[in-house]
Structure 1
Amino acid sequence: MSLDKILSISGKPGLYQIVTQTRTGAVVESLIDKKRITVGAHSNISILSEIAIYTLAEEVPLRNVLSSIKTKYNGEQTDISHKASKDELEEFFFDILSDYDEDRVYASDIKKVVQWYNILQKNDLLGALEDEETADVSEEE
């Protein structure tokens, strides 16, 4: 499954995957507890493949940041919790993406990235990162 099918819904914890689309929105399934809910078109939904992290030079796709975390932790859960202190989170993120823009990337954003990575890892969805990178290389050729 690609990151195109994984969503973050504002006001709801965790990540969701699209089960099916409806006339007025979509039916999604929580990756945390597998419960299905219907979300309307009015909901503030972010697709993970469209999220990027600000750096001092450019915006880095979330997929690349998640891949860096996966490489550092050999595909295992991070040793830091999304509930860690602001300083611990910033230190962790500096190791992953050393040139991230500290003025525009907040501790709450780092918390989400850590939580999302751990949810994807727990649900064995980190393979989607390699699949998309391979597809990107094929499209460029």
Structure 2
Amino acid sequence: MALEKILSIGGKPGLYKLITQTRSGFVGESLIDGKRITVGFRNNVSVLSEIAIYTLEEEVPLREVFQKIKDKENGGKTAVHHKDEKIKLEEYFFEILPNYDEDRVYASDIKKIIQWYNLLHDNGITEFAPAIEEESSEEE
């Protein structure tokens, strides 16, 4: 499943898989417990494929950050837990993305990225690289 079908919903924990669209919003299925919810268009919803992380030079798509984590962990889950200390999370993230903008990327963002990566990994969603190749071939 592609990141284009994975959603983060403001005020709701975890991630959701887009099931179907309705007239007033859409139906999402939690990757945590499989429960389905109906979400209106008024809710704050982000598609993972549209999220980027600030660096000192540019914005790096979240899929690239996930791929870097996957490469560092040899396809496994992260060595740190999203509830670890702030300094430990920042050190880990610095290894993944050494030029991330420390003024604009907060510890809460790093926690969320690590939590999302592990949640995607638990659900067998670990293919981030093919979408990168498609994007780069479109740009050329």
- Say whether the fold is shared (TM-score over 0.5): yes
How far has the Cα of 1:134 moved from its partner? 2.9
Which residue of the partner structure matches residue 60 of structure 1?
A: 60
Q: Where in structure 1 do 4 or more consecutive aligned residues deviate above 4 Å? A: none
Q: Distance in 2 between matches of 1:62 and 1:19?
A: 22
**1:16·1:31 contact (CA, 8 Å) conserved in 2?**
yes
**1:16·1:29 contact (CA, 8 Å) conserved in 2?**
yes
Read off the aligned partner of 2:111 and give its amino acid letter.
K
Q: Distance in 2 between matches of 1:58 and 1:134?
A: 19
TM-score, length-scaled by structure 2: 0.96
Identity of aligned residues (%): 62
Q: Distance in 2 between matches of 1:111 and 1:6?
A: 18
Q: Distance in 1 between matches of 2:100 and 2:136?
A: 24
**2:63·2:129 contact (CA, 8 Å) conserved in 1?**
no
Matches within 5 A, 1:80-119: 80-119=80-119
How far has the Cα of 1:136 moved from its partner? 1.8
How far has the Cα of 1:85 moved from its partner? 0.6
Which residue of the partner structure matches residue 22 of structure 2?
A: 22
Unaligned runs of 5+ in 2: none
Unaligned runs of 5+ in 1: none
TM-score, length-scaled by structure 1: 0.96
Which residue of the partner structure matches residue 134 of structure 1?
A: 133
Read off the aligned partner of 1:139 and give its amino acid letter.
E
Which residue of the partner structure matches residue 70 of structure 2?
A: 70
- How many residues were matched structurally? 140
